[in-house]
Amino acid sequence: MNKKIFSGVQPTGNLHLGNYLGAIKNFVQLQNDKKNNCIYCVVDLHSITVKQDSKTLKKNIRETTAAFIASGLDSEKSIIFNQSAVPAHSEGAWILGCVSRMGWLSRMTQFKEKAGKDKEKASVGLYIYPVLMASDILLYDATHVPVGDDQKQHLELCRDIAQKFNHDFMSPNFLKPPEPLIQKEFARIMSLKDGNSKMSKSDPSDFSRINLTDEKDLIINKIKKAKTDAMPMPESTDNLDDRPEVLNLLGIYSILSNQNINKTKADFGGKNFSLFKDQLTELLIDKIIPIGKKIKDLLKDEKYLDEILNKGAEKADKLASKKIEEMKTIVGF
């Protein structure tokens, strides 16, 4: 079966190793299988669910596009565009918002985390964020959605929304519930400072993450300071459930070197932590520095990046307009 792939990344700056290993690296692999049709979106409408500065937003939209290209996405092979350039996303979100139930959205853990203690002050946009996400996916009849583990609940909701629309409007199979594509291991890259919390753009400490544009010295420093524990490097049979920081670093090493965690454990078992950290740093420098350099180079040519987005938006609009028109007819407009 040919897969239709859709995924998105928010242009909120500080794209990090979690975004790369959990999502973008997989976008590239999926794109490079000729049987797949891939659409990758810079989800700028999602980003304004929390306050953004207009000038910085524009810069971040280009930077996320540059990160896609620098990581290996190719605008000739994949459709690359920004969400606000295709009006059907917002229109679809409204219609689907009328199908979605308050109770479903209230259960979303990401909203609870992001809204924090003061829910009353969170934007309505933040609350209905997953409905817009469902619109993104369903407009293109995407069959598969590559994401990190933190988006799993939103994809389950997307499936529920699709089924409810089909049921309410007696239009079986019109909206296609998608399958999530989530890595089996290390689908959630954790903070370098706390193995129990996710590596995130919004963590106030820059030392909690490796940004794709970090310079070499900074990467060296961040790994040096990354939290570990007082025990020696684990042997291959050791259970690491109570050593989340060590497990995370071993995981990062394993994904970057395309090898199984057991092989990584066997390679470093009983060795010095500093040796492991040195090799992890080398690997990160080898894989991430070239991406960061390319991002910075691409950012010098804004016209080129804007052109990619404009051409992508034209292609995406053709697909999405057709689906939204059908959707409106079904609704009775």
Q: What is the set of active-site residues? A: 114, 198, 201
Among 5, 6, 39, 250, binds ligand TYM (CB under 6 A): 6
Among 38, 67, 131, 145, binds ligand TYM (CB under 6 A): 145
> Of 148 and 312, which CB lies nearer to ligand TYM in the complex structure?
148
Shortest Cβ contact with ligand TYM: which residue? 22
In the sheet with 37-42, reading across from the earlier edge strand, the strands are: 78-82, 37-42, 4-9, 144-146, 179-181
142 contact partners, CB below 8 Å, separation of at least 6:
4, 5, 6, 39, 176, 178
The answer to the question of residue 8 lying near ligand TYM (CB under 6 A) is yes
Taking the complex as a whole, the smallest distance from the CB of residue 228 to ligand TYM amounts, in Å, to 19
In the block, tokens 């890259």 appear at: 189
Among 30, 43, 108, 324, binds ligand TYM (CB under 6 A): 43
The answer to the question of residue 9 lying near ligand TYM (CB under 6 A) is yes
Ranges within 97-126 binding ligand TYM (CB under 6 A):
none
| Three-state secondary-structure class, residue 145 | strand
Stretch that binds ligand TYM, among 49-57, 145-153, 251-259, 261-269 (CB under 6 A): 145-153
In the block, tokens 């792939």 appear at: 5
Q: Which helix (H) or strand (E) holds 293?
A: helix 273-299
Give the x-and-dash track for 226-265 against ligand TYM (CB under 6 A): ----------------------------------------
Two tokens, residue 153 = 């609940």
Taking the complex as a whole, the smallest distance from the CB of residue 170 to ligand TYM amounts, in Å, to 27
Burial of residue 251, with CB atoms counted within 10 A of its CB: 0-12 exposed, 13-18 middle, 19 or more buried: buried
| Three-state secondary-structure class, residue 236 | coil
In whole angstroms, how far apart are CA 326 and each of 42, 258, 277, 323? Answer: 25, 43, 55, 5
Two tokens, residue 252 = 């990062």
Among 131, 147, 305, 309, binds ligand TYM (CB under 6 A): 147
| Other Cβ atoms closer than 10 A to 170 | 8
SS3 content of the chain, % helix, strand, coil (to 5): 60, 10, 35
Stretch that binds ligand TYM, among 1-9, 100-108, 166-174, 243-251 (CB under 6 A): 1-9
Among 66, 128, 133, 324, binds ligand TYM (CB under 6 A): 133
- Binding residues vs ligand TYM (CB under 6 A): 6-10, 18-19, 22-23, 43, 46, 133, 136-137, 145, 147-148, 150-151, 188-189, 198-199
